[in-house]
């Protein structure tokens, strides 16, 4: 019997609602299609999601847990037995070295599974180990630093749904399906963008590449990679000097305006143009059109956050919104109320850093032992993780539990990552396949795939500009011994006698929980109780959820600080940098190109590289260059070159792309293999993480490594 059920895809955070045909008896997924009745995703799916049946049936999928055997290979192990042995090893490590020696790293896919991270975080608290790491700190920690220094508006910024302008910096949601709150939405993006344009939206894009989004923009500022701080400073200077900001709003809610004005003084349009490559008239027009609109925000993706001075870029982006007063005022109904998020008040006032919850402050939590780095979002910084393993002494990491992440392909400095993983006493990977990282593990624990477990759209709750949520019960059983990630950590806690405290209460070690029960404890206090979300099939709007921005208390003294300590200093430091001549980058100007980050539609980081339709689209992460550059270098499309940075070199397949400006190489991350393996770059791609060092070009506050605007040069391989 074939049954049709509703669920949602979890390969990326778009969480597209789907209808699936399943044969429950055979345990097979027969077909998947977008659910056109869904109010958020409207039937949209992408090439990745349409391959859910291939992912489930993939012969390369893990079909049970594995343990390292004496001969160096893997042998099968029952998952309960694996948990017994792993908890025993952890107990020994904690006894000998203390709880800090036990670390976990969770990758992107852990965020697409609502129970995983809350339980894992609680497991760390219960164990007393601060060594909690995720992909957040190699992604966009700068967005958190900006909030932690400027403060945040309690009622949120204007939504995209009501915007008449959108200024988008280094974000390509048409491919990535991810936009920050108030940004051009990552859900069913093209259709919603077209609607917005019919409404009169002005779209301004800042990107070195003429992206899928930039092609639809009214104004595309094709910036030289890494020059966002200069360009944004120039735009702010235009807005403030022409008086285009919201002076009334600033008088009441903003502080530091004069100090900011002063620090921006030297960012004259001609200087900004020379440095950023954006003509002065275009920069000025963008500033005027942004400030001249009435609603809408400046937002960004990974582009400026991977490049140098990420915290400064994010601060200036936030400042554009603050000085133009692009925030929800008292009495306004919020488009993005949050259905699964806690039902907290949303006051129309600045919430200064001192009043922010601990996870949003640059607090005094445990410090990293390297480079003076600190916790961000109550997480230890992943760029320092390999060093924390390799560096001896008190606090050295001995065990690493990797959940839904792929350090070998994703962390900066791939060779160091390998050395670190190989020197651990214990490496455990919870994954759905034998990833490049899992191949080095002592234990690989098999997790079910999304359609095989209950889940709810908690991660994307803050991005939805409608009161929307989707609870998806499992539609298939894995048919083998698989452990859900939360159950794995609850299993370790039970064996080790440590507590797991969730927002709705502690897990009782004697009880067996369903995933729904755990999700109820995780979403405790949400605006809509989880039971109500589960009661309806498919994605739903909860129209009765109405959140209105509340007035600030009279005499409210709080302000958004647009010139906090560190910002004027960093602006001056940027202004003092030498202007790089195009074609002469890096140390001694030895590098001809800047390599920038990008995403590919048919894969999600390292996920999907083995899917059949994705392989038909492409098997490698090509190095895209302007056709004129290929010609100048005497390279033919499809040819293999060596890309060399200050740190290391990788092979890559070059392809022409006229959406890229000359002097730029655009290349996706998450490809390649572990460095000790021989591999054909045309078949598996190359690892851009190998090109960067964690110790030279990094942000002093977060340790975030320069993963875009990397000086490189290209040449034919020497052999
Ligand atoms: N040079 C360079 N490096 C970068 C970036 C860059 O732009 N340039 N980008 C950075 C960014 S933004 C990020 S987020 C990181 C990504 O870093 P990671 O998140 O560490 O890498 P992914 O490739 O997303 O790893 C996902 C892993 O989860 C597994 N998986 C998939 N589904 C499931 C599941 O349901 N359960 C479990 N347990 N496992 C599952 C996959 O098999 C895969 O091994 O990389 C960063 N690295
Ligand atoms: N299909 C697909 N979707 C994904 C992923 C994937 O791998 N594939 N990865 C997911 C992850 S982990 C994340 S974090 C999100 C990221 O989501 P996005 O940030 O939207 O990711 P990208 O599409 O890489 O867009 C980044 C843009 O920044 C530009 N850029 C690079 N350097 C600079 C610079 O110096 N300045 C400026 N202004 N722009 C620059 C690039 O040209 C690119 O267009 O996407 C998620 N979604
Ligand atoms: S992978 Fe594609 S289908 Fe799946 S959620 Fe993301 S955009 Fe939607
Ligand atoms: Mo990411």
Strand 623-625 relative to strand 649-656, pairing? parallel
Nearest ligand 1 atom, CA 435: 44
Alpha carbon separation from 371 to 142, 381, 655 (Å, rounded): 17, 11, 38
Using alpha carbons only, what angle is made at residue 136 by residues 132 and 140, rounded to the nearest 5 degrees? 150
Contact 76, 456 (CB under 8 A): no
- Report d(CA 245, CA 225) in Å as an integer: 27
* Per-residue pLDDT at 719: 54
Residues in the chain predicted with pLDDT less than 50, given as ranges, are none
Cα-to-centroid distance, 521 and ligand 1 (Å): 27
Q: Which ligand is nearest to the CA of 209?
A: 2
Residue list, ligand 3 pocket, CB within 6 Å: 9, 11-12, 14-16, 45-46, 48-49, 177
Cα-to-centroid distance, 98 and ligand 1 (Å): 29
Pocket test for ligand 3, best of 7, 8, 10, 12 (most atoms within 8 A of CB): 12
To the question of pTM greater than 0.95 for the whole model, the response is yes
pLDDT digits (tens, 9 = 90+) for 622-632: 999 999 999 99
- Report d(CA 185, CA 195) in Å as an integer: 12
Residue list, ligand 2 pocket, CB within 6 Å: 12, 108, 139, 169-173, 175-178, 206-209, 211, 223, 225-226, 228, 301-304, 307, 596-601, 603-605, 666, 708-709
- Report d(CA 126, CA 509) in Å as an integer: 13
Return left, alpha or beta for 137; rule: phi > 0 is left, psi -120 to 50 is alpha, else beta: alpha
Of 320, 305, 215, 224, the closest CA to residue 264 belongs to 320
Using alpha carbons only, what angle is made at residue 481 by residues 476 and 487, rounded to the nearest 5 degrees? 85
Query: Of all protein residues, whose CA lies closest to atom 6 belonging to ligand 1?
Result: 669
pLDDT digits (tens, 9 = 90+) for 353-401: 999 998 998 878 899 999 999 999 999 999 999 999 999 999 999 999 9
Name the residue with tokens 């916790």: 375
- Report d(CA 127, CA 458) in Å as an integer: 25
* Per-residue pLDDT at 517: 98
Using alpha carbons only, what angle is made at residue 378 by residues 373 and 382, rounded to the nearest 5 degrees? 50
Pocket test for ligand 1, best of 10, 61, 135, 596 (most atoms within 8 A of CB): 135
pLDDT digits (tens, 9 = 90+) for 151-167: 999 999 999 999 999 99
Alpha carbon separation from 394 to 23, 242, 329 (Å, rounded): 54, 56, 51
* Per-residue pLDDT at 471: 98
- Asked if residue 689 has its Cβ within 6 Å of ligand 1, the reply is yes
* Per-residue pLDDT at 136: 98
pLDDT digits (tens, 9 = 90+) for 540-558: 999 999 999 999 999 899 9
Contact 168, 320 (CB under 8 A): no
pLDDT over 90 percentage in the chain: 96
Strands (DSSP E) found in 144-296: 152-153, 165-169, 202-206, 219-221, 254-255
* Per-residue pLDDT at 364: 80
Using alpha carbons only, what angle is made at residue 144 by residues 383 and 699, rounded to the nearest 5 degrees? 40
Q: Which ligand is nearest to the CA of 133?
A: 1
Nearest ligand 3 atom, CA 177: 7
Of 471, 469, 472, the closest CA to residue 540 belongs to 469
- Report d(CA 246, CA 556) in Å as an integer: 19
pLDDT digits (tens, 9 = 90+) for 1-58: 899 999 999 999 999 999 999 998 888 999 999 999 999 999 999 999 999 999 999 9
Cα-to-centroid distance, 292 and ligand 1 (Å): 40
Contact 640, 651 (CB under 8 A): yes
Cα-to-centroid distance, 9 and ligand 1 (Å): 17
- Asked if residue 670 has its Cβ within 6 Å of ligand 1, the reply is yes
Cα-to-centroid distance, 11 and ligand 3 (Å): 6
| H or E element in which residue 106 lies | strand 102-106
Exposure of 289 by Cβ count < 10 A (0-12 exposed, 13-18 middle, 19+ buried)?
Answer: middle
For 485-626, where are the alpha helices, taking DSSP H only?
485-496, 515-522, 530-535, 567-576, 612-617
* Per-residue pLDDT at 1: 87
- Asked if residue 444 has its Cβ within 6 Å of ligand 1, the reply is no
For 134-215, where are the alpha helices, taking DSSP H only?
142-150, 173-176, 189-199
Mean pLDDT of the chain: 97
Q: Which ligand is nearest to the CA of 599?
A: 2
Please tell me whether residue 36 adopts helix, strand or coil conformation.
coil
Query: Of all protein residues, whose CA lies closest to atom 26 belonging to ligand 1?
Result: 405
Cα-to-centroid distance, 10 and ligand 3 (Å): 7
Query: End-to-end distance of the chain based on CA atoms, in angstroms?
Result: 59
Contact 428, 150 (CB under 8 A): no
Surrounding ion ligand 4 within 5 Å at CB are 139
| H or E element in which residue 127 lies | helix 116-127
Residues in the chain: 719
- Directed axis angle between helix 567-576 and helix 228-241, to 10°? 110
Please tell me whether residue 444 adopts helix, strand or coil conformation.
strand
Contact 227, 207 (CB under 8 A): no
Nearest ligand 3 atom, CA 46: 2
Nearest ligand 1 atom, CA 605: 23
3-state helix, strand and coil shares in percent for the chain, rounded to the nearest 5: 35, 20, 45
Q: Which ligand is nearest to the CA of 134?
A: 1
- Report d(CA 346, CA 343) in Å as an integer: 9
- List, edge to edge, every strand of the sheet that includes 3-8: 3-8, 17-23, 28-34
HSE value, Cβ hemisphere, 13 Å, CA-based, for 95: 7
Residue 500 pairs with which residues in a beta bridge? none
Cα-to-centroid distance, 108 and ligand 4 (Å): 6
Nearest ligand 3 atom, CA 10: 5
pLDDT digits (tens, 9 = 90+) for 441-455: 999 999 999 999 999
Contact 4, 23 (CB under 8 A): no
């Amino acid at each position: 019997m074939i049954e049709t059920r509703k669920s949602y895809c979890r390969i990326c955070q778009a969480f597209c609602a789907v209808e699936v045909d399943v044969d429950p008896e055979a345990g097979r997924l027969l077909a998947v299609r977008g659910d056109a009745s869904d109010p958020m995703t409207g039937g949209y799916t992408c090439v990745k999601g349409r391959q859910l049946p291939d992912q489930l049936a993939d012969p390369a999928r893990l079909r049970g847990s594995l343990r390292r055997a004496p001969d160096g290979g893997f042998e099968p192990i029952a998952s309960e037995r694996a948990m017994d042995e792993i908890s025993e090893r952890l107990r020994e490590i904690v006894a000998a070295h203390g709880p800090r020696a036990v670390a976990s790293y969770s990758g992107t896919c852990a965020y697409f599974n609502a129970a995983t991270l809350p339980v894992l975080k609680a497991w760390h608290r219960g164990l007393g180990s601060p060594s909690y790491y995720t992909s957040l700190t190699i992604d966009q920690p700068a967005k958190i630093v900006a909030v932690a220094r400027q403060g945040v508006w309690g009622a949120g910024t204007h939504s995209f749904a009501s915007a008449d302008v959108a200024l988008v910096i280094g974000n390509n949601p048409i491919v990535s399906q991810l936009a920050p709150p108030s940004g051009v939405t990552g859900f069913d993006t093209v259709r919603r963008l077209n609607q917005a344009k019919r409404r009169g939206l002005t779209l301004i894009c800042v990107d070195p590449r003429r992206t899928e989004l930039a092609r639809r923009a009214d104004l595309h500022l094709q910036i030289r990679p890494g020059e966002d701080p200069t360009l944004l400073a120039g735009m702010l200077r235009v807005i403030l000097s022409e008086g285009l900001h919201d002076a009334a709003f600033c008088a009441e809610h903003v502080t530091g305006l004069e100090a900011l004005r002063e620090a921006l003084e030297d960012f004259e349009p001609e200087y900004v143009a020379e440095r950023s490559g954006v003509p002065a008239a275009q920069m000025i027009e963008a500033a005027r059109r942004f400030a001249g609109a009435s609603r809408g925000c400046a937002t960004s993706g990974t582009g400026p956050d991977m490049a140098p001075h990420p915290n400064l870029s994010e601060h200036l982006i936030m400042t554009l919104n603050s000085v133009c007063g692009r925030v929800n005022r008292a009495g306004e109904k919020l488009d993005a109320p949050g259905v699964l998020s806690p039902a907290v008040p949303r006051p129309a006032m600045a919430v200064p850093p001192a009043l922010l919850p601990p996870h949003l402050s640059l607090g005094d939590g445990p410090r990293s032992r390297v480079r003076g780095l600190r916790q961000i979002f109550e997480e230890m910084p992943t760029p320092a993780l390999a060093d924390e393993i390799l560096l001896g002494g008190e606090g050295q990491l001995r065990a690493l539990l990797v959940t839904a992440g792929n350090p070998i392909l994703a962390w900066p400095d791939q060779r160091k990552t390998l050395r670190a993983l190989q020197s651990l006493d214990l490496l455990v990977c919870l994954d759905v396949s034998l990833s490049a990282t899992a191949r080095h593990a002592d234990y690989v624990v098999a997790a079910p795939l999304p359609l095989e477990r209950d889940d709810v759209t908690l991660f994307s709750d803050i991005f939805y500009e409608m009161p929307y949520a989707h609870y998806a019960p499992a539609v298939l059983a894995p048919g083998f011994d698989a452990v859900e990630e939360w159950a794995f950590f609850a299993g370790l806690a039970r064996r080790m006698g440590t507590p797991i405290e969730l927002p709705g209460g502690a897990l009782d070690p004697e009880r067996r929980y369903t995933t729904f029960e755990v999700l109820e404890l995780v979403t405790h206090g949400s605006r809509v109780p989880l039971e109500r979300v589960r009661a309806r099939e498919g994605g739903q709007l909860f129209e009765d959820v109405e959140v209105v921005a509340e007035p600030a208390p009279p005499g409210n003294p709080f302000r958004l600080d647009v010139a906090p300590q560190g910002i004027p200093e960093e602006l001056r430091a940027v202004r003092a940098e030498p202007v790089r001549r195009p074609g002469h980058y890096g140390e001694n100007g030895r590098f001809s190109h800047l390599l920038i980050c990008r995403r590919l539609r048919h894969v999600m980081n390292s996920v999907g590289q083995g899917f059949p339709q994705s392989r038909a689209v492409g098997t490698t992460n090509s190095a895209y260059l302007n056709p004129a550059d290929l010609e100048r270098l005497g390279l033919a499309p499809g040819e293999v070159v060596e890309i060399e940075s200050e740190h290391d070199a990788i092979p890559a397949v070059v392809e022409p792309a006229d959406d890229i400006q000359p002097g730029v190489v655009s290349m996706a991350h998450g490809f390649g293999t572990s460095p000790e393996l021989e591999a054909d770059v045309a078949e598996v791609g190359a690892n851009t993480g190998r090109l960067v060092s964690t110790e030279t070009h990094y942000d002093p506050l977060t340790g975030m490594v320069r993963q875009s605007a990397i000086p490189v040069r290209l040449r034919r391989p020497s052999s």
